[in-house]
Structure 1
Amino acid sequence: MPTGVALRDVREQLFDAAERVLLRDGANALTSRAVTTEAGCAKGVLHRHFADFDAFLAELVTDRIRRVEAQSAALRASAGTGTVAGNLTLALLELFGSVAVAVVSLVISRDGLRARLRQAGSAGIPLLGEATTMIAAYLAAEREMGRIAVDADVDALALTLIGSAHLLFAGREDDPPDAAVVEWIVTTAMADPIQRRLL
C-alpha cells in the first residue's frame, strides 16, 4: 500500500473515494480499508483525520447535506423564473442523480451512523430531510409569488415529491429513470396547486 502519496485535500479525496466505493459496491462494502485503497493512500491517513470510521461517515453525510443546502439556495433563487414543474424536475434530477440515494442507503444500514447524525441535530433520514426542506422552501417562495395556490400545503407536496423521486431512483444505479418520468411525477403532483392558482 502506498504511504507517500501526496493528498492535497485529504478529506475531500477520502470523501470522493468513499462515494466511488458506495456507488460501485454498495453500503456493505464501505470500510476504512476500501476507502483508503480507493483513495490510494495508507489506512492510517483516514484515522489521522477522523476519530473513527463512524466519525468519517458522519462527516461524509454532513458534507453531502451542505451540498443540498447550497442547492437549496439556488433553487429558491429560481422562484419566479421558468416553470414550477421545470424547476422542480431539474432540482430532483440533480439531487437524486448524484450520490444521494447511495448515501441514504448508507445511513439506513448503519445504526451507529444514524445515532451520531441525530446527536448532531439531523432529524428523520438525513439528506432526505434536508431535501424535503429544500423543496418546501422553494414551493413556499412560489406560493408567495402567486405561481401556486395560496392554500397549497407545501410541506405535503415536498414530502410527496421527495418520496416519489427517491422511489424512482432507488435501486436503479445502472438505469436511472428518464428525465421525462421525473417530469411526469412532478407535473402530476403539482397539477392541482398550479391550476387552482388561476381560480
Structure 2
Amino acid sequence: MPTGVALRDAREQLFEAAERVLLRAGPSGLTSRAVTTEAGCAKGVLHRHFSDFDAFLAELVRDRIARLDARSAALRESAGTGAVADHLADALTDLFGSVAVAIVGLVTSRDELRARLRRTTPTGVPLLTEATAVIASYLTAERALGRLAADADVDALAPLLIGAGHMLFADRTGPPPEREAVRKVVAATLAGAA
C-alpha cells in the first residue's frame, strides 16, 4: 500500500515543505516527520535523498543562500537608478519578508546544523553573512557611481543594514513592518554616507 504521493522533484518539494513548517511552527516544530507529512510523502523519501535530517537542513540553507545570487545581480544592476534607500529597503524587505528570519532562528538553534554550515560559511550567521555581502556589493557600486560619499565605509554599512533589517522583521508572528518604516531605517543608516 502506498504511503504517500509521487514527488517529481523530491528535493525541492521537501525544501518547500520545510519552509512552510518553519514559518508555521518555527525551528522547534521542524522535524523530519513534520516535513514529510507536509510534503505528503513517506519519511523514507527524505532519507533516500539526504544522509540525515541535519544534512537535509544544511542543504536547505545552502539552497536558500544560492538564491541570493539572482537577487544580488538585480540589486547591482539597479545601481545608478532610482533612490539608493528605496533599493535597499526593497532588498531588505525581499530578504526578510521571506523565510530568512526563520532560517536564522533554525541555524542558531541547531548546533550540528551550524557545524555543517561552517564548512561553507566559516564566520557569521549563514544567510545573513551572504546577504551582507550582497548589500556591500551594491553599496560599492553606488559609491563608484558617486551616489555615496567616496569615503563611505560599505563594509560597516552593510552589516548595519542587515542587522537593522533583521530587527525590524524579527517578530515572525506579528505583521511585517511597513515599507516606509524599513526605508526610514535605511535612510538613517545611510545619512552620513549619502
TM-score range with shorter-chain normalisation? over 0.9
- Closer/same/farther in 2, CA of residues 190 and 2 from structure 1, 3 Å limit: farther
Q: Which runs of 5+ in 2 are unaligned?
A: none
* Alignment RMSD: 1.2
- Match of 2:191, SS state, is helix
- Show the counterpart of 1:11: 11
- Counting only pairs closer than 5 Å after superposition, residues 36-185 of structure 1 correspond to structure 2 as 36-185=36-185
- Output one character per residue of 1:99-121: Cα deviation in whole Å (capped at 9) or x when no partner: 00000000000000000000234
For residue 115 of structure 2, what is the amino acid of its counterpart?
A
The TM-score, its normalising length taken from structure 2, stands at 0.97
Once the two structures are TM-superposed, the CA of residue 174 in structure 1 deviates from its matched residue by: 3.2
SS in 2 for 1:193: coil
Aligned-partner Cα distance in 2 for 1:21–1:4:
18
Structure 1's 145 and 11: CA in aligned 2 closer, same or farther, altered over 3 A? same
Q: Which amino acid aligns with 1:147?
A: R
Q: Normalising by structure 1, report the TM-score.
A: 0.94
Q: Tell me the distance in 2 between the aligned counterparts of 1:170 and 1:21.
A: 17
Aligned counterpart, 1:197: none
Structure 1 unaligned regions, length at least 5: 195-199
Kept in 2: contact 1:69–1:130 (CA 8 A): no
Shift of 1:123: 2.4
Counterpart of 1:159, as a letter, is P
Q: Would you say the 8 A contact 1:58–1:116 is kept in 2?
A: yes
Q: Give the share of equivalent positions with the same residue, in percent.
A: 68
Asked if the contact 2:107–2:113 (Cα under 8 Å) also holds between the matched residues in 1, the reply is yes
- Contact 1:80 1:142 (C-alpha < 8 Å) held by counterparts: yes
Tell me if structure 2 keeps the 8 A contact 1:2–1:40.
no
For this pair of structures, how many residues does the alignment match?
194
